Structures are given as C-alpha cells and as structure tokens.
Structure 1
Amino acid sequence: MNVHFIAIGGSAMHNLAIALHNKGYNVTGSDDVIFEPSKSRLKTKGLLPSTFGWFTEKITPNLDAIVLGMHAKANNPELLKAQELGLKIYSYPEFLYEQSKHKTRVVIGGSHGKTTITSMILHVMHYHDRDVDYMVGAQLEGFDVMVKLTEDNDFIVLEGDEYLSSPIDRRPKFHLYKPNIALLSGIAWDHINVFPTYENYLEQFSIFVNSIVSGGSINYNEEDTEVKRIVEASKNTIRKLPYKTPEYTVENGQTLLETSEGDLPIEVFGKHNLNNLAGAKWICQHMGIDEDDFYEAISTFKGASKRLEKIAESNNSVAFKDFAHSPSKVKATTNAVKEQYANRTVVACLELHTYSSLNVEFLKEYKGALNAADVAVVFYSPHAVEIKKLDAISHEQIANAFQRDDLIIYTNPDDFKAFLFSQNFDNKALLLMSSGNYGGLDFGEVKELIR
C-alpha cells in the first residue's frame, strides 16, 4: 500500500508514518519544517523528505491514501492536487480507525489524564508480554514508537484527543474511533480557540459517549460531576461502570496504595494519578489482566514522559517538569507535589503558553490553581500573546485571575531564569509546569540546582 503524509513531521504524524513503514507499507511524506526528535527518527527509517517544502509532483494516481496532518493548511498545494485527482484523503484519526476497524478498540478520553492512563495500560501489557496495537501521546520507557499497528493483534489502545482531526475535518479526533471499550477521566474546559463556550466543549464528550458501539462499555470517573452527568444521561445501549480514587497514604515521601494484599509502594503520586490508576486497572481487567497481575506491573510504572517527570533529586530537594497548562491540570499537579512533599517548600512555576491560557477571558479559570504552592510564579511572554494575535495581558489581570497576593510574575525570560538560579533549593520541591520552555530555559542547567 502506498501512503503519502502531508505534514509528516508532526509528533503524531511521524509516529504513524513509522508504524506503517514497520508494517511494510510504502511511505512518503512532505513538510515545510521538521524538528527533533521527529527529524532523526524519520531519517533513521529512511522517511525524512530530501527537501523541505510542498511538491505537487509527489501526488500521483498510484497513491492509495493521503494522510493529512493538522499542521497543513486547507490551501496546501499537495492537498489541492490530491483533491483534484480524487485520491482518498484521511485525517490522522480516520486512518487509525481504518487500520483498526476489525480490532477491539479501547479509547481513553478526557480533558486530563488520558496520556497517563493510556501509558499505564500499555506499561502493564508490556510487563506481562501481552502484545497490543496502540497510539499514545508520550514517549514511554520500553517502547520504541508511540504508534504500533499490526495485522494480528486483537486489541488497539487509543488515546482519545478531543482536538480537531485535520484542516478539512473539524470533528474532534475521538469522535472517529467508535470504541468497543471506553474510559472518560475528567472534563475541564480547554481549547477555547476551537470550543468557545463551555457548553460546546461538553457536547463533544456527549458525542464521544454516544459513539461507543452498541453493547460496548465505558468506565468513568464518578468523582467528576460533568463526567458522571454526561455518561449517566446517555441513552446509548452500553455498560456504564464507575470508578473512583482508591485509598492510599503518603509516608516520608512514598505513596502506598491500599490493596487486598496490603500496602503497595508505587512510583507515581498525587490523588489525580491514583484516580488514573483506578481507571487503568478497570481497562486492563477488560483486556484480561487480573487484579494481582495489574498491581505487580503498576508498581514499576514511573510515569509518562513530561507528566510529573522527575528531572533531578538530592537528599533533601527534588525537581519535576510537567506538561500541565490547563487550570485543572495545574491545580492537580501542584496539589500532588505538596501532598507528596508536605514538609518541603514547594516552588511552583507556571508558564502561560497556550492560546487558552493567554486569553484574557479564560484567565479567570486559574483561580486557586496555585494555592497549594508555598511559592507561586507565573511566566508569560508578551511576544507570544502578539504572535497569537490576542489582547495584551497585564500583570494586574494575571494577579486578579489567580487571586493570590504573593504571586510572582515574570515576562522576561532572563528575569525568570535569574530568579530561579538565585534560589536555595535545600528542603524544597521545584515544579516547572509548561507546554513550552519559559523562553529558552535549559532544563539541563536546572538539574544542576538540585544538589
């Protein structure tokens, strides 16, 4: 099968391209810019375009499929040529469904927690040598790629993102997978550039629940009010199975999960991660893993990349970086670190980097998000606000949004770095939350602070 990728360099796209290459497909692709690690990984497989740019001569009638990435625009010359030739054009999720329509599709949805839950499930399967197909949004320890597709595996585990499918398909990705087994972890308004109202955002999750195949099942976090309401209101003929945070304790910086066999030390921590673990256990049981085997495997799970990832530790100090940027994720992550290190000073630094977080109207959603931190810092770049063509944000608006009198605010990367490197981190826990890099912060240098 001949498949061409338009915008092959994206995080998800290059992983799918590699998965198809590994499956024996003939894969080609184009992109106007490709960053690391995508660039090296494509090069290793012989899939890196020889020249960056868009080339209509690559689009020929012998192509069986075009996979269109979100990075491409609707007027992309290769896309226009493909449309002119009447070629079959798939969005990323459409193509994943096409590859898995004869498998049992397990889809993990939610505003937060889906990458971690998917990662937990895959870790358990890998630990017990159960081979499954998958697509996950983070690099996992022990896994070469973030997408795996085979002809033989019965199950495919898919991280169900609610963002749009492609420039010409404005449906959320997770509407297209038609799960047999689903999970819904939590709902907190996000992606306001696409879903401008909270009600519109909620509607996407109702559609997801109703997309589960008849006779299928959904496990849902009953502690989330919106999740509970949406799942229980659905008229879809599916099994509805609630889960909640299990009992646990924290002793001397170690989280112990209560099980029928006694307290189990685990690597991950925080109420939100224990809640994620409960959801992952349910799904693994659907996939044939009994409870004892799940606990044995999950005790060795260290977390997904960039999700409360420990980057440095000494006898009395520790540093984490986390992809958290939405209000609910920031609050859950900050609370988790403070609970785990109750006797240390928690320094929480948040970069406002996404379209939503830099929106004046959305800022009020951050109220109380950093309250658990002993020292709370917010960094944002006025230049990033300009690039996104948003209204300018003032220090006062940030302070009013978080409603914390001692909030420290920086707009200059050098000033933020100077603050960070002036701190004494003895008996402290540093938490860096961002989907960016604080205007060029070298995390390698940050590690040197923790000694």
Structure 2
Amino acid sequence: MRIHFIAIGGSAMHNLALALYDKGEEVTGSDDAIFEPSKSRLNKKGLLPEEEGWFSEKITSDIDVVILGMHAKANNPELLKAKELGLKILSYPEFIYEHSKNKTRVVIGGSHGKTTITSMILHVMSYHDVEVDYLVGAQLEGFDRMVHLTSQNDFMLIEGDEYLSSALDPRPKFHLYKPNIALISGIAWDHINVFPTFESYKEQFSIFVDKIVNGGILIYNELDEHVVDIVSNTFNPIRKIAYGLPGYSIQDGITLLETNEGPMPLEVFGEHNLSNINGAKWVCQNMGIDEDDFYEAIATFKGASKRLERIAKESEAIIFKDFAHSPSKVIATTTAVKKQYPDKKLIACLELHSYSSLNATFLKEYKGALEYADEAVVFYSKKALELKGLEIISEGEMIDAFDKSNLKCYTDSAEFKKYLDGLTIKDSVLLFMSSGNYGGIDLESFFTYLGE
C-alpha cells in the first residue's frame, strides 16, 4: 500500500511510519516541525520530508490511506486535499484497529502504569520468544521502536491512551481498539483541557469497558475504588479478573517478590510497580504464559524508559528520572523511592508544564504529592503559562497547592540550574520528575555531582 502521514514527526506517528516501512509498505509524510530523535530515525530510512511544512501537492489519488496525526489541524492543506479527492483518511488508532481487527487485541488502559504494564508484558513475551505485534508509549531496551506490525502474529498488544484521536475524531484513542483482553490499572483525573470534570474523565473508562468484545476479559486493579465502581456497574458480558498488591519485602535497597518458589529479587521497585507486575501476570497468563515462566522473565525487567529509570549510581548517591507529572504519578514515584531508600535524603525535582498541571483550578490536586520528599523543588515556566493562555501562578500559590511549607519554586531555568549546581547529594537520592526537560537543561551533566 501507499500510505501518507500528515504529521509524521510525532513520537507515535514516526514509529508507526517506521514499522510500516519495515513491513514493506510505501510511506511518505509531512510535518511543520520535526525534532530528535524522530528526525534522525526518519532520515535513516529515507522517510524524512525534504522540507518542513504542509504541501497539498503531495496528496495524490494513488494514495491508499492517509494517516492523520493529532498535531494536524482541521484546516490542514493536505487534509483538505485528501478530503477533496475522497481518499481514505484514518486516525492513528483507527489504523491500528484496521490492522489488528483479525488478531487478538490486548489493550492496557489506565491513568497511570499503562506504559510500564505494556512494557512488562512485551518483555515477558520477548523473553520466551513469543512474537506479538505491539504499540507501546516508550522506547524499550532491546526493541528498535515503539510499534511493530506483521501479517502473521496472533496478538496485538496496545497501550490504550485515553487522549483524543485526531482533529477529525474527538473520541479517546482506546475507545477504537475493541479489546479481546483489557486491563485498567487505575483512574486519576487528567487531560482537563478535554475532560473538564473528573466524572467526564471517568466516563471514558466506562465506555472503554463497554467496548470490550462479548465474552472478552477485563483485568482490573481492585485497589482503585473508581475502577471497581466502573467494573461493578458494567452490563457487558465479560469475564472479570481482579488483581492487587503481591507480597514483598525490601532488603538492602532490593525489592523481593514473594512467589511459590520463595522470595525473588526484582530490578524495579515501588508498590505501583508491584501492582503492575500482578496485572501483567494475569494478562500474560491469558496470552499463554504460565505463572512460573512469567516470574522467570519479569525478574529481568529493568523498567520502561523514564519510568523510575536509574541514570546514575555510586555507593553514596543515586539519580533517577521519571515521567511522573500528574498528581497520582508524583505520589506513587516519591513514595516508592523513599520506601526503597529510607536512610537516604530524597531530593525531588518536579517540572510542571502540561495544561492540566499548570491550571490553577487543577493545581490543588497536588496537595501532599511531595510529602515524602525531604527536599522538594517545583520548576515551571512563566512562558509556558503565557503560551497556554493560563494565569500566572505565584510561589505562594504553588506552596499552598502542594501544602509543603519548605517547597522551593523556580520559574527560570538558569536559576534552577544554579540550584542544581550547588547541590551536594552525598547520602541522597536525586529524583527528576518531568515529561519535559526543565527548560532545556541537560540532566547528563549532573552525573558529576556523584561522590562530591
């Protein structure tokens, strides 16, 4: 097929383009801005557009499918031309469903943990040489890209994002996948620019459950009251499997999982990850992997990129980075680190830069989120507030929102870097939490602090 991508440079979109190219399809695309690593990866395969921008002349009648990214607007010139020619236009999730409609679709949903759980399942399958198609939200160690598509594999493993599909399709992505096997890890209000109330956000998960095919399987976190409420009230004739927290212990900074064969050391830690392991185990068992084989594989799982990823360690100091930015993720991450290293000082640096996190109405959801941090820092850019059309948040308002009197606040990246330069992290854990880059700061430079 000849496939054209409108907004090929996005994280998910360029991975899909690469997957289709490697599958043997003819791929072209456009975008008005492409950054690394997308730029280099597309260029390596000859898929990088010669010029940035939108060009209606690229859209011709011999194109079989146009894949529309969320970044593209409704008035995009290429989109308008595609509609004029009557071409088949699919959003990213629509295309994934079309590809997998004759496969067993396994969809992992939830406000938090879905990338990690999807990664765990994929790691276990790879460990036991079980080939599956997949779509995951992070770059994984040992895998070339975040998307893999074939004609022959029986399973399609999908990370089910609840954000909108495209400029033409306002449905959440995970509503389109119609899973045979589904998992919900937890529900915590997010994406308030699209779902202005918690109830409207929660409703999307009810719809997701109702989209599971008749006779399908729902695996759900019984420790989350909102998930339990949704599961209890669905009329969909599906099999329901609950999971919670497994038994474990911590010895000398190592988490040991209780199994039938005795305590098993893990590479990951934190109760949220232990719960994720339990959910992943049930999914894998329903994909044909027995419990003992699951444990053998999961013992070697080191985590998804930027999910409590250890980037440096010496005898007296450790540095982690994590994608956490929503309240529930910040709480889970800081709690996990403090419990894992109770004798070390926890220095937690959180960047707020998403629409939700910088919204004054939503900010109160962060109350107590940095409770376990011995030294807590919040970085946010006033320029980002202006670009998003949001009110300026004062330092006092930020301190009140987090309910932490000794909270340090920075709105200038140079001042934040000066703070980092002055840190001595002997006997400490330094935790960076962000889905951004703190105004362009290179975290690699802080490895030199170790041992000072």
- CA shift digits 1:284-314 (9 cap, x unpaired): 1011111111111101100000111111110
Paired position in structure 2 for 1:203: 203
Paired position in structure 1 for 2:7: 7
- The within-5 A match list for 1:45-444 is 45-444=45-444
Q: CA deviation at 1:439?
A: 1.1
Q: CA deviation at 1:59?
A: 0.6
Give the % identical residues.
67
In 2: Cα distance, 1:182 partner to 1:23 partner: 26
Q: CA deviation at 1:277?
A: 0.6
Code of the aligned partner of 1:254: I
Q: CA deviation at 1:391?
A: 1.1
Code of the aligned partner of 1:300: T
Code of the aligned partner of 2:12: A
Specify every segment of 5 or more residues in structure 2 that has no aligned partner in the other structure, as ranges. none
In 2: Cα distance, 1:29 partner to 1:438 partner: 30
Q: CA deviation at 1:46?
A: 1.2
In 2: Cα distance, 1:44 partner to 1:277 partner: 36
Code of the aligned partner of 2:368: G
Code of the aligned partner of 1:257: L
Q: CA deviation at 1:426?
A: 0.7
Q: CA deviation at 1:45?
A: 1.1
Code of the aligned partner of 1:250: I
In 2: Cα distance, 1:422 partner to 1:29 partner: 46
In 2: Cα distance, 1:114 partner to 1:105 partner: 15
SS in 2 for 1:437: coil
In 2: Cα distance, 1:449 partner to 1:73 partner: 44
TM-score (norm 1): 0.99
Code of the aligned partner of 1:119: S
- CA shift digits 1:65-87 (9 cap, x unpaired): 10000111110000000011111
Code of the aligned partner of 1:442: D
- CA shift digits 1:251-274 (9 cap, x unpaired): 110000010100000000000000
In 1: Cα distance, 2:48 partner to 2:414 partner: 36
In 2: Cα distance, 1:264 partner to 1:316 partner: 25
In 1: Cα distance, 2:405 partner to 2:54 partner: 51
In 2: Cα distance, 1:12 partner to 1:141 partner: 17
In 1: Cα distance, 2:41 partner to 2:271 partner: 35
Code of the aligned partner of 2:89: I
Q: CA deviation at 1:181?
A: 0.2
User: Any conservation in 2 of the 1:2–1:62 contact (CA below 8 Å)?
Assistant: yes
Pairwise CA RMSD of aligned residues? 0.7
Q: CA deviation at 1:411?
A: 1.2
Q: CA deviation at 1:406?
A: 1.0
SS in 2 for 1:27: strand
SS in 2 for 1:67: strand
In 1: Cα distance, 2:423 partner to 2:394 partner: 26
SS in 1 for 2:240: strand
Code of the aligned partner of 2:42: L
- CA shift digits 1:309-332 (9 cap, x unpaired): 111110011000111000000000
In 1: Cα distance, 2:12 partner to 2:450 partner: 33
User: Any conservation in 2 of the 1:232–1:240 contact (CA below 8 Å)?
Assistant: no
In 1: Cα distance, 2:392 partner to 2:345 partner: 33
Q: CA deviation at 1:410?
A: 1.1
Q: CA deviation at 1:415?
A: 1.5
Paired position in structure 2 for 1:42: 42
In 1: Cα distance, 2:410 partner to 2:62 partner: 54
In 1: Cα distance, 2:120 partner to 2:78 partner: 38
SS in 2 for 1:165: coil
- CA shift digits 1:414-441 (9 cap, x unpaired): 2111111211111000000011111121
User: Any conservation in 2 of the 1:56–1:77 contact (CA below 8 Å)?
Assistant: yes
TM-score (norm 2): 0.99
Code of the aligned partner of 1:180: N
SS in 1 for 2:165: strand
